[in-house]
Amino acid sequence: MSKKANYLIKTLSRTKRKDYENYVINAIWNRLANDNIKPVTQQYVFNKEKNEGYLIDLFFPQLLVGIEIDERHHIFQKAKDYERSDAIWHIFHKLESDKNSDYEEIRIDVAGKTYDEIEEQINTSVEKLKELIKQLKPSPWIIDSEKYLEGKKELTIYDDVSFDTIAEACNILFKTNYKGFQKGYVEPSKLKEHSFYSQKGIWFPQLAIEIDGKLIAAAGKWNNRITIDGNIIEFNEDEAKIVNKEYNEEYTEHAERVVFAKSKDPIGTKSQYRFIGVYKRTKYIPIKHEGKYRSARFYEMASDRIPILDE
């Protein structure tokens, strides 16, 4: 089965919705009949002013159009909820409604409506989507990573691409020939002479997982977290020194890392690596773990893009 077919089957068959919602979403997709347009179900929309967000039932990122059926489902009401290990998708893929003035939401009311009334709303929505496709002429949806990046000179955090393995990411982006790679920190030899990469490492961190309300290391004892603002916190659960809660120490070397974070894909079927930026270690901060404050490394984003190597 192709990656695109698998994505469509999974994303259009989630069971959390009501029957009417499932019917409307699948009817819209089938009547649109265009597999060059990507559908995203349960897209997260964030309102920064209110510090709250909600999920829309169906979103077309190439068109900046959302389909909302009945009512908004509010999630992540508190900023701390972003610290959950599965929230990385929302942090780097959220749609900020106040920043996207072109975003349009189409509402379909199914409550108390007859079959014919629902059908009319579906058909009207589909016609509007088709007209937008004609007007915008969006680039086709490409799900294969290598094909998506073909001919591109750089990769940005906004690109809709992810990698199944560390080896795949390195082979496509840095033209290595890895058969497999297990380490989370990589320094390909061919990058040592490259003007951009020579002083940077390539980091593939696994994020901390939540068990019984606690975030614990997913790999070894390295506890890696992403903050609401997209910063990175890293500490070793066994080796990080004990500090007080006011601890703050500048890191003068400012080491940079090209970071690909491992997280679940948008349909929750598997974990993939996605480029989230070039990060600079700027300071040490206190992080509470097992009742004590420990010294943690704090990274801030230095760049949202990296060059892709030629052959």
pLDDT digits (tens, 9 = 90+) for 26-69: 999 999 999 999 998 877 776 667 666 677 889 998 998 989 88
Give this prediction's pTM.
Answer: 0.81
Token couple for 215: 């975030």
β-pairing, 271-289 vs 256-264, is antiparallel
Mean pLDDT of 119-142: 96
Give SS3 for 168. helix
* Residue 154: strand pairing partners: 307
Only one residue has tokens 């614990």, namely: 216
Token couple for 2: 């192709």
pLDDT at 78: 39
pLDDT at 252 over 90: no
- 153: confidence class by pLDDT, cuts 50, 70, 90: very high
pLDDT at 92: 58
Q: Which of these, 203, 215, 208, 220, lies nearest to 299 by C-alpha position?
A: 203
Higher pLDDT, 76 or 222: 222
Mean pLDDT of 131-142: 95
Give SS3 for 11. helix
